[in-house]
Structure 1
Amino acid sequence: MTTSIEISESVRHYYGQVLQSSNDLKTSACCTIDAMPDYLKALLKSLHPEVLERFYGCGSPLPPALSGKTVLDLGCGSGRDCYLLSKLVGPEGRVIGVDMTPEQLEVAVRHRDWHAERFGYANVEFLHGHIENLAAIGIEDNSIDVVISNCVINLSPEKPKVLAEIFRVLKPGGELYFSDVFADRRIPAPLRQDPVLLGECLGGALYWEDFRRILHDLGCPDVRIVKQNPISLDDPEVAAKIGMVKFNSVTVSAFKLALEDRCEDYGQVACYLGTIPEHLHAFNLDNHHHFETGRPLRICGNTADMLAASRYAEHFQVLGEKSRHFGLFDCTPGPQTESAATDGLCC
């Protein structure tokens, strides 16, 4: 395989013909056991069994505070996350699922009326198309509040195009919130073209630093890790091919905001109001910003903007402006965030 079309066709064949259920997967990459919040686990009981059976995601990229929002799911597959989102955005919200695999979309569309009857409203639509060209299927500029994706961007042969499209369609202050597989190094070309490694979400995994550079070039210099889990290579043949690479399933958050490339200190403080129903006592913006309800926390300028200029604004009181600068923000992690110092992230 040498072209983007051939790689896309290989992925389409793997997910449409080779895999019939999650039991057919050879690694934990596409179904990493993730600590899904209890409120989401409860919603799974409302979903059709076939939709759940054909789920191949690698995490739980469903952020809070989605009521009434428009959410786009890239690589929606059989629609599991779209139907979870249907409950989270409610009757006033909207969910759009995009996928290139007809066999997967057929499952999602076939059960749309079943879910609408069960939920009492219909707010989900599915579009057949490529995530590298959302304009071709009518997704307009600045029209989406939140873009999610569940272990799909790694499957694209043109990842910079996908990410550019995401930031085109996001509204100002909108959020990209997705789970995917990342590698600790650049993967050799022959392995990037291996059909099984591609389908198992390994061959196309981005080296984290390359991903960070792509987003920086798109005007997003501050990317946050929400959570991450190591991936096990359970199949001996797969491990023999690519066992020298360490993989992680990572949930990532990135906002469409004019942020700085370093965390700067302006003496700002944020206080979480405890008004997100599923997060009454505390809220985690990412893996090293833990906000206890009612307890002020010093924050950098970028974090202040993420809270004050996004859908989270109504749930936080952010004190302080940027009229006075105190230099770089002290990013030393607190006791509940000891891993932050090794994440390679700003703040």
Structure 2
Amino acid sequence: MGSLGKDEQYLDIVRDVYAQAATTPQPKLCCTTAPIWQLPGLKVPTVMQEMNYGCGTTVHPADIGSDDTILYVGVGGGMEVLQLAYFARRPGGVIAVDAVGAMLEKAQANLQVAAEENSWFEPGFVSLREGDALALPVPDISVDLAAQNCLFNVFTREHLDRALSEMYRVLKPRGRLSLSDPIATRPIPAHLAADPRLRAECLSGALTYEEYMAAIVRAGFGTVEVRARVPYRVLDRERYGLDKHLLLESVEVVAIKDPMPEDGPCVFTGRTAIYFGPEEVFDDGKGHLLSRDLPLSVCDKTAEALQRLESPHFLVTGSTFHYRGGGSC
């Protein structure tokens, strides 16, 4: 990235932390909240499991198409790119980018181990590239699925906007961006947000849920799906100089490169509408057909519009922050 300004110097510390993690596994660097994939014929080497630096599930197998070109940013020990290569079994089917040379070298070595333990896998299935999330070494409109796990939360807000814009740039129309990051249940105090080591350790760079979602929308994604939102860590008042404990959560989001609707993005947070009126089907005149007695997943805009009808024949649930598709916006 060239010379760093004052506001960018934290990136040096982030890279130092992960360079150390490349040579010596750091089990407390992140707190993974999801199990390793259990798939027929897939064996994840122990050395990869020891370097599993993440905060949730980045990509679900159901989101991966058979011909997808997949981009993964922040390689770590290579576990996630191995899992993705299970589906993209062709040369360069997975592009893996990392800014830390030592981490790329370790990932390359780990992928060689994976090839010895998995008869189906060839290291050439993964194209390892040294590069920056703020300037991806990937052509425009060339990727079907992009993903990152517990990386974007270390960025400042300006850099987060740049990283999201880069992901948007490389995605094809209708391409998907899968994200997993810590978020904060209230704003991170300034004395913690300014600590670059805590930021590198995925503790003090977290935005609130509202701020995080707003950043995704600013990048241009017209559809955003919240797949999960669960407890991650606690910043306790004694160790972190707080007036009260601060809960961090892990949020999993899929953002789709759809055109932005005139009335704003379609954001799915697990809300459901059920119609139980006298007609077999209710038509709201905006493209939503609700069959009587059958629940329909709806985006937040549609849920709020149906609630404004004040009809006695609707039940509209609140956000569960758990959505798996099939809804209507």
TM band (smaller chain): 0.7 to 0.9
Unaligned runs of 5+ in 1: 271-294, 304-324
Q: In structure 2, give the amino acid aligned to 1:56.
A: Y
Structure 1 residue aligned with 2:110: 111
Alpha-carbon separation, structure 2, partners of 1:7 and 1:44: 41
User: What is the Cα deviation at residue 223 of structure 1?
Assistant: 2.3
Which whole-Å deviations, capped at 9, do the CAs of 1:278-314 have from their partners, x for residues lacking one?
xxxxxxxxxxxxxxxxx986455899xxxxxxxxxxx
Q: Secondary structure at the match of 1:31?
A: coil
Match of 1:291 in 2: none
Residue 339 of structure 1 corresponds to 320
Distance (Å, rounded) in 2 between the aligned partners of 1:78 and 1:219:
31
1:21 to 14, 22, 25: 25
Change (3 A) 1:124 1:241: farther
Offset at residue 153 of structure 1 (A)? 0.5
Cα pair 1:180 1:250 within 8 Å, conserved = yes
Q: Does 1:205 align with 2:209?
A: no
- Partners of 1:256 and 1:156 in 2: how far apart? 22
Alignment of 1:175-254 (within 5 A): 175-233=176-234, 238-240=239-241, 244-254=245-255
- Partner AA of 2:155 in structure 1: S
Q: Which runs of 4+ in 1 moved over 6 A?
A: 234-237
AA aligned to 2:100 is T
| Separation in structure 1 between the aligned mates of residue 46 and residue 243 of structure 2, nearest angstrom | 33
- The CA distance in 1 between the partners of 2:17 and 2:56, in whole Å, is 20
| Structure 2: distance between partners of 1:231 and 1:61 | 15
Question: Percent of aligned positions with the same letter in both sequences?
Answer: 27
Q: Secondary structure at the match of 1:50?
A: helix
Q: Cα offset for 1:269?
A: 7.2
- The structure-2 alpha-carbon separation of the partners of 1:238 and 1:51, relative to structure 1 and needing over 3 Å to count, comes to farther
The Cα offsets for residues 80-135 of structure 1, whole Å up to 9 and x where unpaired, read as 1001101022337711111112222111011333334532443101111110111x
Q: Which has the larger radius of gyration?
A: 2
Name the CA shift for 1:302/1:231 in 2 (closer, same or farther; >3 Å). closer
Match of 2:52 among 50, 55, 66: 55
- Residue-pair matches, total: 286
The alpha-carbon deviation at position 210 of structure 1 amounts to 1.9
CA distance in 2, matches of 1:258, 1:203: 33
Uncovered stretches (5+) of structure 2, i.e. residues with no partner: 267-283, 308-313, 323-327
Mapping for residues 1-347 of structure 1, pairs under 5 Å:
3-17=6-20, 20-25=24-29, 30-34=30-34, 36=35, 40-42=37-39, 46-63=43-60, 64-66=62-64, 67-91=66-90, 94-116=93-115, 118=118, 119-121=120-122, 122-134=124-136, 137=137, 139-157=138-156, 158-233=159-234, 238-240=239-241, 244-260=245-261, 261=264, 265-268=286-289, 298=296, 328-329=305-306, 333=316, 339=320
Instruction: Note the alpha carbon deviations across 1:19-62, whole angstroms, 9 max, x for none.
Output: 8224344xxxx22322x48xx13479612221221121111111
Deviation at 1:252, TM superposition (A): 0.6
